[in-house]
Structure 1
Amino acid sequence: MSQNALIYFLKAPKEGDVKTRLAKSIGNQAATRCYTLLCERLLALEVDETVDRFIAYGDAQHAIPPFEGSFGLFFQEGEGLGARMQNAFRHCFAQGYERVVLVGADIPDIDAPLLNEAFDTLASHDAICSPTYDGGYYLIGFHATTFTPKAFKHIVYSQSDVFAKTLDALFPLVVAQGKTLHDLDTLDDLKALAFKASSSFHTYAQALLKTLPRISVVLPVYREDERLQKIIAQTRQRAQTASVEIIVVDTDERTTVDAVALENVRIGFSRQGRAAQMNEGLLMAQGETVLFLHADTLLPDAWDRLVEETLHVTCAGAFSLAIDDAHPWFRFIENAANLRAKLTRVPYGDQALFFSTPFLREQGGFADIALMEDVEIMRRLKKQHVPIVIRSETVLTSSRRWQQEGFVYTTLRNRILSFLFWLGVSPKRFIKRYRAHRD
């Protein structure tokens, strides 16, 4: 028996259970296929013959794919990821191994030299821990005499401080830090990793990316009616290309999608609130560009070309505003809104805000606030000196809010709420004044 054991820590490739964040964008089937191919690639790496290999499998009830090679097999045990990893180490150390390294399966850039070097590194260190760029780690290893359960306790593995907290838990051991690599969690990760090497995973990922749309249009909805169908149809008709996807994000109460027949759209759900719904749409978006459209707003002709032209020179933009009513009062509102946006560079949500998708994700999306999420994101970008382009072409928004609630009341209310937000008042304190957001 060798003194070295390598644990491949694998989940069962069941749709809906693996790569769930990636599945938000590309679907469960494609995400599961990506994970399966990564497992196959990892297990095919030729590690040193002095290393015994084990698969620690995540589901005793699920059939194990026919992976090629010679591996020991045992099933993960324990409540939570930390406990399962701890028990995997205990399993191998109980068999008499002196050095054990555990590695995850969702790292497309991992290779055999890196795995072999982990054991070489352990010769002069108490432990090794190799980080991912998102703050986690993909590999960890110990000697039998230096193994400590503290490395796996009181750590929330979904957060970005996993690697840092693990290093803290390992003190005072002498810990080597391996090469930092990207793991595969999101569509942006897939796009960044797909063309970096050659394997069945990379071939599949490249082919998959070629099928994705260039632009994602997100419509957060709440108690909408058949007018939504017109908005969706005209959004498609007014685009110059077919490389557009429509994402309708309803609330968890399904206030719209069960009442309105929708075709050729992707549907998502979140808790009620425009910011939460738009962030869900951002997670789902497949396009390099994402546009957020109110359910009562029509985009201009060739809007997709206009958006892509803008995002060649910046990361954020919007259209000017027009209102679908001939009353002179609305010309005043339009002119005032467009002048305000031009002077402040802070367009509102009814102007169809659009962004580079990776850029907005890096920003963390919209702030999780009750109102004014559109103002907040633009003010945030201004502080970072991000150019915000407001195009002269107009979106056409419905006058229904003003007609339902009154010209003067709606206009004054919106101005007062904007002023309060500018003063720093929390939107939670004045949301009840905004009737459109109440149940």
Structure 2
Amino acid sequence: MQNKGSVSVIVPCWNDEAALEKLLSHLNLMAKNERESLQLIVVDAAQSANCLEICQRHGSLWVPASPCRGEQLRLGASHAVHSILWFLHADAHLTCNCLPAIRDAINSGASGGYFAFRFSNASCWQSRLLEKLINVRTRFGIPYGDQGLFFQRDIYLTCGQHDASPLFEEVELVKRVREQGRFVELAHGVGVDARRWQRDGWWRRSLRNRLLAIAYYVGVPASRLAAIYSSRK
């Protein structure tokens, strides 16, 4: 049974327990401050005992899964009991209490939304320029999962949920949800970990991501692109 106005948070995880523990701790603090009934769902592709222990410690439902992010997100959503679904990556950095803004957006009639792209742990001219460019792109294109997508649960289900694929699983979903009503951008709240850009190079990583997106749009299978995405070569 859905609880209207409350939020189910769905977190896919795969060998990212250190970041996950920080995220769950922050989410519980937000819920306590808001006196909110917040449901936490972690879908663990590694099926690790360490992840299970962390979930038990933070009052989160632990759901074992196979390593495919789209399938993880769909499985997590199937366990949700609240009327708002909020999907977060395990390494997301929460920079403020996001719950009131999410609820206000949905209560105002939005079908869903996302957070403006911000790096959480980098402040250089490259990161600042990339933030501006990515935010321009997402207003006309697709915001991805690292931007904390959230949806009205009924609309999410009506629109077919995430694709059961390991990459670009949110693309068709976001397109369909936008057809249902306003899909809003929230200015503050979720920070993206910059470690992959710092490791691979700011512009090299961004160019690679764009080339993968172009390949997806021209019909290259997501499973093939996921293997390239995961490779550091």
TM-score bracket, normalised by the shorter chain, equals 0.7 to 0.9
Q: Corresponding residue for 1:218?
A: 10
Note the alpha carbon deviations across 1:169-193, whole angstroms, 9 max, x for none: xxxxxxxxxxxxxxxxxx4xxx5xx
Q: Judge conservation of contact 1:317–1:355 (CA < 8 Å) in 2.
A: yes
Aligned CA distance change for structure 1 residues 315 and 400 (closer, same or farther; 3 Å): same
Matched, 1:243 2:37: yes
Output aligned runs, 1:242-391, within 5 Å: 242-251=36-45, 253-254=47-48, 257-258=51-52, 260=54, 262-263=56-57, 264-312=59-107, 313-323=109-119, 324-344=121-141, 346-382=142-178, 384-391=179-186
Deviation at 1:229, TM superposition (A): 1.1
Aligned equivalents of 1:338, 1:367: Cα separation in 2: 23
1:220 aligned counterpart, secondary structure: strand
Q: Corresponding residue for 1:51?
A: none
Aligned CA distance change for structure 1 residues 256 and 435 (closer, same or farther; 3 Å): farther
Aligned equivalents of 1:331, 1:252: Cα separation in 2: 34
Aligned residues, how many?
A: 227
Note the alpha carbon deviations across 1:319-360, whole angstroms, 9 max, x for none: 11210212221111211111111233x211111000111221
Deviation at 1:364, TM superposition (A): 2.6
Aligned equivalents of 1:256, 1:386: Cα separation in 2: 41
Structure with the bigger RCO (C-alpha within 8 Å, sep 6+) is 2
RMSD: 2.4
Aligned equivalents of 1:392, 1:368: Cα separation in 2: 29
Note the alpha carbon deviations across 1:296-340, whole angstroms, 9 max, x for none: 112342311100111121221111121021222111121111111
Q: Corresponding residue for 2:26?
A: 234
Q: Judge conservation of contact 2:55–2:62 (CA < 8 Å) in 1.
A: no
Q: Judge conservation of contact 1:238–1:302 (CA < 8 Å) in 2.
A: yes
What are structure 2's unaligned runs of at least 5 residues?
none
Q: Judge conservation of contact 2:85–2:153 (CA < 8 Å) in 1.
A: yes
> What is the letter of the counterpart of residue 10 of structure 2?
V
Identity of aligned residues (%): 25
Structure with the greater alpha carbon radius of gyration: 1
Deviation at 1:282, TM superposition (A): 0.2
Aligned CA distance change for structure 1 residues 260 and 365 (closer, same or farther; 3 Å): same
Aligned CA distance change for structure 1 residues 294 and 404 (closer, same or farther; 3 Å): same
Aligned equivalents of 2:116, 2:49: Cα separation in 1: 29
What are structure 1's unaligned runs of at least 5 residues?
1-186, 192-208
Which shifted more, 277-286 or 249-258?
Answer: 249-258
Output aligned runs, 1:390-429, within 5 Å: 390-429=185-224
Q: Judge conservation of contact 1:367–1:373 (CA < 8 Å) in 2.
A: yes
1:379 aligned counterpart, secondary structure: helix
Q: Corresponding residue for 1:99?
A: none
Aligned CA distance change for structure 1 residues 388 and 282 (closer, same or farther; 3 Å): same
Moved over 6 A (4+): none
Q: Judge conservation of contact 2:16–2:91 (CA < 8 Å) in 1.
A: no
Aligned equivalents of 1:343, 1:306: Cα separation in 2: 22
Q: Judge conservation of contact 1:251–1:272 (CA < 8 Å) in 2.
A: yes
Aligned equivalents of 1:255, 1:430: Cα separation in 2: 30
Deviation at 1:252, TM superposition (A): 5.9
Aligned equivalents of 1:377, 1:265: Cα separation in 2: 26
TM-score (norm 2): 0.87
Note the alpha carbon deviations across 1:251-286, whole angstroms, 9 max, x for none: 264385157564211111221111111111100111
2:223 aligned counterpart, secondary structure: helix
Matched, 1:435 2:230: yes
Aligned equivalents of 1:261, 1:305: Cα separation in 2: 24
Aligned CA distance change for structure 1 residues 377 and 412 (closer, same or farther; 3 Å): same
More helix by share: 2
Aligned CA distance change for structure 1 residues 316 and 328 (closer, same or farther; 3 Å): same
Note the alpha carbon deviations across 1:196-243, whole angstroms, 9 max, x for none: xxxxxxxxxxxxx6xx98111111000113222111111232343322
Q: Judge conservation of contact 1:214–1:243 (CA < 8 Å) in 2.
A: yes
Aligned equivalents of 2:199, 2:54: Cα separation in 1: 22
Aligned CA distance change for structure 1 residues 381 and 370 (closer, same or farther; 3 Å): same
Q: Judge conservation of contact 1:224–1:295 (CA < 8 Å) in 2.
A: yes
Q: Judge conservation of contact 2:69–2:164 (CA < 8 Å) in 1.
A: no
Output aligned runs, 1:125-140, within 5 Å: none
Aligned CA distance change for structure 1 residues 436 and 308 (closer, same or farther; 3 Å): farther
Aligned equivalents of 1:349, 1:238: Cα separation in 2: 21
